[in-house]
Amino acid sequence: MDSIVVTGGGPLNGEIPIAGAKNACLALMPATLLSEEPLILTNAPRLSDISTMTVLLQSLGADAASLQHDKVLAMSSHDLTSTRADYDIVRKMRASNLVLGPLLARAGHAEVSLPGGCAIGARPMDIHIDGLEKLGAEIELRDGYLHAKAPGGLKGAQIDLAFPSVGATENLMMAATLAKGTTVITNAAREPEIVDLARCLIAMGAQIEGEGTDRIEIQGVDRLGGATHRVVTDRIELGTYMLAPVIAGGDVECLGGTLDLVQSFVEKLAEAGVSVEETGRGLRVRHDGGRVRAVDITTEVFPGFPTDLQAQMMALLTTAQGVSTLHETIFENRFMHAPELVRMGAEIEVQGGTARVTGVERLKGAPVMATDLRASVSLILAGLAAEGETVVSRVYHLDRGYEQVVRKLSRVGAQIERVKGT
């Protein structure tokens, strides 16, 4: 099993290109199931999760291929040969459930295995199911599969989400594009990935208003066409690499980044004493390498502080001046990185959904283990600030959400390498 070795100590200087958003691309890809015409995605990230979604779509009869060094995804679902999303594929990735809405809308039936993904807490399907049933679907759970059908076709409805779930909002938006009549989704998710999906669906001929607000209205149409769409910048990768020069010291410009994608995150960096400059090419972060100020953080749905940046921010706060408190409100099991940071000398106390971090002068390199996607990169960031060598094992999690992390960090001066497992 591969590991990543990081030797801390040096400042980082240069440019880091930020990839297209993994979470946006994983929602955009199933949109091909809604149309017989081609859907082309540019600025697509090169990640194992994207490969998994490609395999899933191909298993349903879609043509899906990567072009131009994998940055372009060309897909076509002219002839669907199956509406069953098998467990062997779906278990690898949570976002696989996003084929449910499009299959119901296009074919009128679907069998989708309950999904897998990182073990960071319960992410139930009940919000998805409740919304689809309001659209006229009949859904039954049997043998680990959701068996869904819409005998009379999907029909527009008023859907009030119990929680602004990103996945449920995406699934319902796609299903509603081909439903008869008008669908209104309230308490909808507002994330940039939702806006990106809406823009792609509109380019395909959908009638959608209100994306980016908590009320989205969709007027169903008879058919959708093809489109070419550029995937939005990955705000989580952006925030992650913005932290690198803060932790290690230096001057790094994150190309493709914009403030609107990470506003709440930047506000917390400002509280910690870090300035961020929008350059026109991206976001520039400079820091002298000194200790930042402690800050308190509560994860929230967008536009609040992202849960997907909590682990990375904790890595920074382990060496802050003072005591920081992090409240995790999205996932109940998302402090699994804390014990690994403690192995590096951090002082962290976890009680339920709250972590209390007392900053120390310096972390010490140690062998640590990645427990999930964001935890893996937080340990790499911690290694940049640590004295000596940090060895991060189980980095296969990293491949799901960060492309070429070793190359990107080494190009700005980090001492980092990937070691092949035996």
Residue listed under structure tokens 């509280």: 271
Distance CA(7)–CA(310), nearest Å, equals 23
Residue 325 burial (CB < 10 Å; 0-12/13-18/19+)?
middle
Q: Is 120 annotated as belonging to a binding site?
A: no
State residue 422's pLDDT score. Answer: 64
Q: Is 43 annotated as belonging to a binding site?
A: no
Per residue in 151-173, pLDDT (tens digit) is 889 999 999 999 999 999 999 99
Beta strands at 84-85 and 282-287: parallel, antiparallel or unpaired: unpaired
Distance CA(127)–CA(165), nearest Å, equals 8
Distance CA(254)–CA(24), nearest Å, equals 19
Distance CA(4)–CA(60), nearest Å, equals 36
State residue 196's pLDDT score. Answer: 98
Distance CA(376)–CA(344), nearest Å, equals 14
How much of the chain exceeds pLDDT 70, in percent?
Answer: 96
Per residue in 346-399, pLDDT (tens digit) is 999 999 999 999 999 999 999 999 888 888 999 999 999 899 999 999 988 888
Q: Is 330 annotated as belonging to a binding site?
A: yes
How many residues are given for the chain?
422
CB distance 93 to 115 below 8 Å: yes
Range 96-125 average pLDDT? 79
Beta strands at 227-230 and 3-7: parallel, antiparallel or unpaired: unpaired
Range 132-160 average pLDDT? 95
Residue 293 burial (CB < 10 Å; 0-12/13-18/19+)?
middle
Distance CA(34)–CA(80), nearest Å, equals 10
Q: Is 251 annotated as belonging to a binding site?
A: no
Range 406-413 average pLDDT? 97
> Where are the domain boundaries for CATH 3.65.10.10 in the chain?
3-18+234-419, 22-230
Q: Could you tell me which CATH number the domain at 22-230 has?
A: 3.65.10.10
Residue 268 has pLDDT above 80, yes or no: yes
Range 277-299 average pLDDT? 95
User: 3-class DSSP state for residue 343?
Assistant: helix
User: 3-class DSSP state for residue 88?
Assistant: helix
Range 295-301 average pLDDT? 96
Q: Is 23 annotated as belonging to a binding site?
A: yes
| Residues acting as catalytic residues | 118
Residue 421 has pLDDT above 90, yes or no: no
Distance CA(315)–CA(416), nearest Å, equals 17
Mean pLDDT for the chain overall: 93
Per residue in 32-84, pLDDT (tens digit) is 999 999 999 999 999 988 999 999 999 999 999 887 666 899 999 998 999 99
Beta strands at 138-142 and 145-149: parallel, antiparallel or unpaired: antiparallel
158 - beta bridge partners? Answer: 184
The secondary structure of 318-335, three-state, reads CCCECEEEEECCCCCCCC
Distance CA(283)–CA(262), nearest Å, equals 10
Q: Could you tell me which CATH number the domain at 3-18+234-419 has?
A: 3.65.10.10
